[in-house]
């Protein structure tokens, strides 16, 4: 095996691991945002169902974290779509390069980088929305407690 073959195999293995790890991150963000939304729905339901239910304005304050978590779910799904199109652009770019279509390859290379940046930003955005939701849960519970 030549050095070039070794570098190719190493790059291929690293690329596969990066894609696998990215998919794990996206699924984890979907799970934590979705799980937090379900937990908030259960919490709100238990408060509404209790005999000493608080004022409706206090309960309405508990719905804001649901919005943060819901937007977190939307952001991670959008990130998954960007990730899909990033992978598509990588393959199309590779084919264009191998076929000598350098004008197409340049455009696809630019698209690949833009899609990759969009995927990363929406992934980070989903995490940020989860964190904002956590702070909002804390603030809402503190308001309920007086």
Overall number of domains in the chain: 1
**Rounded to two decimals, what is the model's pTM?**
0.86
What average pLDDT is seen over the chain?
Answer: 90
Burial category of 108 from C-beta neighbours within 10 Å (exposed 0-12, middle 13-18, buried 19 and up): buried
pLDDT band at 132 (very low <50, low <70, confident <90, very high): very high
Query: Where in the sequence is the domain holding 86, given as residue range(s)?
Result: 3-145
Q: Tell me the pLDDT tens digit for each residue of 39-73.
A: 999 988 888 777 555 566 667 788 899 999 999 99
State mean pLDDT over 94-108: 88
- The Cα 58–Cα 78 span in angstroms is 32
3-state secondary structure of 2: coil
* pLDDT value for 50: 72
Q: Tell me the pLDDT tens digit for each residue of 75-91.
A: 999 999 999 999 999 99
């Amino acid at each position: 095996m030549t050095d070039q073959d070794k570098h190719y195999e190493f790059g291929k293995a690293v690329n596969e691991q990066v894609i696998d790890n990215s998919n794990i991150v996206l699924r984890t963000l979907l799970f934590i945002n979705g799980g937090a939304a379900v937990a908030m729905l259960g919490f709100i339901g238990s408060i509404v169902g209790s005999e000493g239910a608080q004022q409706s304005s206090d309960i309405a304050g508990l719905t804001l974290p649901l919005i943060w978590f819901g937007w977190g779910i939307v952001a991670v799904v959008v990130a998954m779509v960007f990730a899909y199109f990033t992978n598509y652009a990588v393959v199309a770019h590779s084919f264009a390069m191998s076929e000598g279509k350098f004008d197409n390859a340049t455009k696809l290379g630019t698209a690949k980088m833009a899609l990759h940046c969009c995927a990363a930003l929406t992934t980070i955005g989903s995490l940020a929305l989860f964190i904002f939701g956590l702070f909002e849960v804390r603030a809402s519970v503190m308001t309920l407690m007086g």
